[in-house]
Amino acid sequence: MLTGLSLIILIIVILVMIIGACAILKWHPFLVLVIAAIVLGVSAGMGTEATIDALLQGGGAVFASIGLIIALGTILGETLEKTGAITAIATALLKKTGKEKILPGISLMGAVTGIPVFCDSGFVILSSLARSLSKQSSVSYGAISIALATGLYTSHVLIPPTPGPLAAAGNFNMAGDIGWIMLLGIVVSIPAIIIGWFFARKLNRQNEIHPEAGIEEEVAPVILPRFAFCILPLLLPVILIAMGSMIPFFNLKASFNSVLIFICNPNIALLLGVFTAFLLPGFSQRKKWNSWIQHALTQAGPIILITAAGGALGAVLKATPLAAEFENMIAGKNFSLIIFYPIAFLLSAGLKTAQGSSTAALIITSSIMAPLLAGMPFNHVAEKALLVLSIGAGAMVVSHANDSYFWVINQYSKLPVSRMYRYFTTATFFMGIAVLASCMLLSLLF
């Protein structure tokens, strides 16, 4: 079996192959990751049988830990979208901030609504509301679009239950500690949201893109659900999952403790959120539930498969001598986990910039880093959560022409491509750097 420098060179070749196949050949990441895992195992001298065993066990383990969570999170987002809850939440948030603070309000609106909904879907859903707000204020539609886009983008890569952070958590065996990623993800999102707002404000001074330039849609007036009801399906799983991370700190009776552990499990918490969301429009809409679930699963399916394939690659990598050699290298040495944050960031940023998908960058990077750091002593689970968020920071850098989200913003905002690069792409670069810096600073507390 290959060891040392030969194995490192092979892994670098495999990584280049992954980037080339995704970015140049436009192959689906699922197929690329499966092929990469097989090529790595066989080329490293593991043998065909051992390679297949590692591939199946690794993919199955990740699917078991995170597959249902991704599916339920996607169903929750789809239901909130179809019931009008997302629009109701956005409208209520903007009423709280007021028109005089419309840009920070839009940024916050994007960040909150981006937690359960894919960022591209969220932008399409809220673009009509953003256009209406622009007409009622002195703020340009282009600036509002940048504020909305960066807010959505931040949550998309940093805060579960969006699929990317969930998948990365699964690769690091953190399915039971998602609450920490949620809580710390919210904290490190703050500087990213502020940077997005800064670039939106900067664009607003140009004041060239008006609402009339955007894509007009005829939207029939609808009666939106009440904000308190709309926010409940989103807050319920978040609160339960966060509580689940805190249970060890409380001295509870065994019977109550077991019940609490059950309902605070991320799978159960999200399932409760889904059923709460189903009740928003009442039972009159129950015939539509199946179509909502079906549409959500068509979105979740590829992500679950890519996540499982990433887990398979990670398992094959862990089965090679590299993981053991790396563990021996750091054993007994006073390594701080903080040095791996920028490494994870750079790998994720390279993948994001090359192939365009933030979710794929999160999955591939975490599948590579997790087995290498399996033997690393963590002082606190928060350190591992911050490592996941450092990968998310890299997955923000940068969104440009090979990212479908870039073109969604371009088409709906009618911002010229040159301005997209100047105000959105540049913003994503500084957002990622700010999140990485925040992760490194927070790690000093643990």
Residue 406 tokens, joined: 């870039």
pLDDT digits (tens, 9 = 90+) for 334-348: 667 788 999 999 999
Q: Is the pLDDT of residue 217 over 60?
A: no
Position 334 scores a pLDDT of: 63
Position 86 scores a pLDDT of: 83
Share of the chain above pLDDT 70, in %: 93
Residue 181 tokens, joined: 């990623």
CA 382, CA 388: separation in Å to the nearest integer? 10
Q: Is the pLDDT of residue 332 over 70?
A: no
Position 220 scores a pLDDT of: 44
Residue 198 tokens, joined: 């800064």
Backbone angles phi, psi at 261, to 5 degrees: -60, -40
Position 153 scores a pLDDT of: 97
CA 46, CA 35: separation in Å to the nearest integer? 15
Where in the chain are the domains? 4-443
CA 358, CA 240: separation in Å to the nearest integer? 27
Residue type, 384: K
Q: What are the contacts of 10-17 at 24+ separation with CB within 8 A? A: 10/40, 10/43, 10/44, 11/40, 11/317, 11/322, 14/39, 14/40, 15/368
Q: How confident is the model at residue 222 (pLDDT cuts 50, 70, 90)?
A: low
Contact 193, 105 (CB under 8 A): no
Q: How does DSSP classify residue 421?
A: I
Q: Is the pLDDT of residue 80 over 70?
A: yes
pLDDT digits (tens, 9 = 90+) for 125-152: 888 788 877 877 778 999 999 999 999 9
Between residues 31 and 89, the one the model is more confident about = 31
Q: How confident is the model at residue 366 (pLDDT cuts 50, 70, 90)?
A: very high
Between residues 347 and 378, the one the model is more confident about = 347
Contact 304, 30 (CB under 8 A): no
**Which of 103-112, 235-244, 433-442 is the least confident region?**
235-244
- Tell me how far apart the 2 most distant CA atoms of the chain are, in Å: 68
CA 420, CA 437: separation in Å to the nearest integer? 25
Question: Nearest-CA neighbor of 167 among 302, 26, 13?
Answer: 302
Position 281 scores a pLDDT of: 78
pLDDT digits (tens, 9 = 90+) for 13-71: 998 898 889 888 889 889 999 999 999 999 999 999 999 999 999 999 888 888 898 89
Position 221 scores a pLDDT of: 45
Highest mean pLDDT among 69-83, 320-334, 425-439: 425-439
- Mean pLDDT throughout 280-309? 86
Position 213 scores a pLDDT of: 45
Contact 76, 274 (CB under 8 A): yes
Instruction: Tell whether omega for the bond before 371 is within 30 degrees of 0, i.e. cis.
Output: no
Position 176 scores a pLDDT of: 81
Position 99 scores a pLDDT of: 65
Highest mean pLDDT among 120-124, 155-159, 401-405: 155-159
Contact 441, 386 (CB under 8 A): no
Q: Is the pLDDT of residue 293 over 70?
A: yes
CA 81, CA 89: separation in Å to the nearest integer? 11
Residue 377 tokens, joined: 């002593």
Position 431 scores a pLDDT of: 98
Report the sign of the C-alpha dihedral through residues 385, 391, 394, 395, in that order: negative
Position 121 scores a pLDDT of: 85
Contact 175, 266 (CB under 8 A): yes
Position 333 scores a pLDDT of: 62
pLDDT digits (tens, 9 = 90+) for 240-255: 887 887 777 777 777 7
CA 300, CA 68: separation in Å to the nearest integer? 10
